[in-house]
Structure 1
Amino acid sequence: MRREWSPEDVVACWTPVGSDWDLVANKSGPTRLGFVLMLKYFELEGRFPHRPR
Protein backbone atom coordinates (compact mmCIF):
# COMPACT_ATOMS: atom_id res chain seq x y z
CA MET A 1 0.00 0.00 0.00
CA ARG A 2 1.30 3.44 -0.90
CA ARG A 3 2.16 5.86 1.86
CA GLU A 4 1.96 9.07 -0.17
CA TRP A 5 -1.38 9.95 -1.80
CA SER A 6 -2.35 13.03 -3.75
CA PRO A 7 -5.90 14.31 -3.20
CA GLU A 8 -6.81 13.27 -6.75
CA ASP A 9 -5.56 9.73 -6.14
CA VAL A 10 -7.56 9.42 -2.93
CA VAL A 11 -10.75 10.43 -4.69
CA ALA A 12 -10.08 8.21 -7.71
CA CYS A 13 -9.15 5.09 -5.72
CA TRP A 14 -11.33 5.25 -2.61
CA THR A 15 -14.65 6.64 -3.87
CA PRO A 16 -17.37 4.03 -4.41
CA VAL A 17 -18.65 4.00 -7.99
CA GLY A 18 -21.23 2.13 -10.06
CA SER A 19 -21.91 -1.35 -8.74
CA ASP A 20 -20.12 -0.59 -5.44
CA TRP A 21 -23.29 1.20 -4.36
CA ASP A 22 -25.36 -1.93 -5.04
CA LEU A 23 -23.12 -3.91 -2.69
CA VAL A 24 -23.46 -1.43 0.19
CA ALA A 25 -27.16 -0.64 -0.24
CA ASN A 26 -28.27 -2.95 2.59
CA LYS A 27 -25.57 -1.77 5.04
CA SER A 28 -26.00 1.17 7.42
CA GLY A 29 -23.90 3.41 9.67
CA PRO A 30 -20.36 2.31 10.56
CA THR A 31 -20.93 -1.06 8.88
CA ARG A 32 -21.32 0.68 5.51
CA LEU A 33 -18.09 2.65 5.90
CA GLY A 34 -16.14 -0.42 7.01
CA PHE A 35 -17.51 -2.49 4.15
CA VAL A 36 -16.62 0.15 1.55
CA LEU A 37 -13.09 0.48 2.94
CA MET A 38 -12.54 -3.28 2.82
CA LEU A 39 -14.01 -3.45 -0.69
CA LYS A 40 -11.77 -0.68 -2.01
CA TYR A 41 -8.70 -2.11 -0.26
CA PHE A 42 -9.38 -5.46 -1.91
CA GLU A 43 -9.70 -3.76 -5.32
CA LEU A 44 -6.35 -1.99 -4.84
CA GLU A 45 -4.32 -4.79 -3.24
CA GLY A 46 -6.07 -7.96 -4.40
CA ARG A 47 -6.29 -9.19 -0.81
CA PHE A 48 -7.79 -8.22 2.53
CA PRO A 49 -5.58 -6.58 5.20
CA HIS A 50 -3.75 -8.95 7.54
CA ARG A 51 -3.89 -6.55 10.50
CA PRO A 52 -6.30 -3.77 11.50
CA ARG A 53 -3.62 -1.12 10.89
Structure 2
Amino acid sequence: MISLKQFSLLFWKRFSENKLNQVAGALTYSTMLAMVPLVMVIFLFSLLFLYSMK
Protein backbone atom coordinates (compact mmCIF):
# COMPACT_ATOMS: atom_id res chain seq x y z
CA MET A 1 0.00 0.00 0.00
CA ILE A 2 1.37 3.41 -0.94
CA SER A 3 1.40 6.44 1.29
CA LEU A 4 -0.42 9.68 0.63
CA LYS A 5 2.86 11.39 -0.25
CA GLN A 6 3.75 8.72 -2.81
CA PHE A 7 0.26 8.87 -4.27
CA SER A 8 0.40 12.66 -4.52
CA LEU A 9 3.77 12.59 -6.25
CA LEU A 10 2.63 9.91 -8.68
CA PHE A 11 -0.60 11.78 -9.38
CA TRP A 12 1.21 15.07 -10.03
CA LYS A 13 3.76 13.35 -12.30
CA ARG A 14 1.06 11.64 -14.37
CA PHE A 15 -1.03 14.82 -14.41
CA SER A 16 1.80 16.89 -15.85
CA GLU A 17 2.97 14.22 -18.30
CA ASN A 18 -0.44 13.59 -19.82
CA LYS A 19 -1.51 17.25 -19.99
CA LEU A 20 -4.75 16.40 -18.23
CA ASN A 21 -5.49 20.07 -17.67
CA GLN A 22 -5.58 20.68 -21.42
CA VAL A 23 -7.67 17.56 -22.02
CA ALA A 24 -10.14 18.58 -19.30
CA GLY A 25 -10.45 22.03 -20.85
CA ALA A 26 -11.11 20.58 -24.29
CA LEU A 27 -13.73 18.23 -22.87
CA THR A 28 -15.45 21.12 -21.08
CA TYR A 29 -15.45 23.21 -24.26
CA SER A 30 -16.91 20.36 -26.32
CA THR A 31 -19.58 19.67 -23.73
CA MET A 32 -20.66 23.30 -23.54
CA LEU A 33 -20.69 23.55 -27.32
CA ALA A 34 -22.90 20.45 -27.57
CA MET A 35 -25.32 21.74 -24.94
CA VAL A 36 -26.33 24.83 -26.93
CA PRO A 37 -28.32 22.93 -29.60
CA LEU A 38 -29.83 20.68 -26.93
CA VAL A 39 -31.07 23.66 -24.91
CA MET A 40 -32.48 25.26 -28.05
CA VAL A 41 -34.41 22.10 -28.98
CA ILE A 42 -35.83 21.84 -25.45
CA PHE A 43 -36.80 25.52 -25.58
CA LEU A 44 -38.46 25.07 -28.98
CA PHE A 45 -40.51 22.08 -27.88
CA SER A 46 -41.57 23.80 -24.67
CA LEU A 47 -42.75 26.82 -26.65
CA LEU A 48 -44.62 24.62 -29.10
CA PHE A 49 -46.26 22.79 -26.23
CA LEU A 50 -47.28 26.02 -24.49
CA TYR A 51 -48.72 27.60 -27.65
CA SER A 52 -50.62 24.44 -28.58
CA MET A 53 -52.49 24.60 -25.27
CA LYS A 54 -54.00 28.03 -26.05
- TM-score where L is the length of structure 1: 0.33
- Which one has more relative contact order, counting CA pairs under 8 Å at least 6 apart? 1
Query: TM-score w.r.t. structure 2 length?
Result: 0.32
More helix by share: 2
Flag the structure with larger Rg. 2
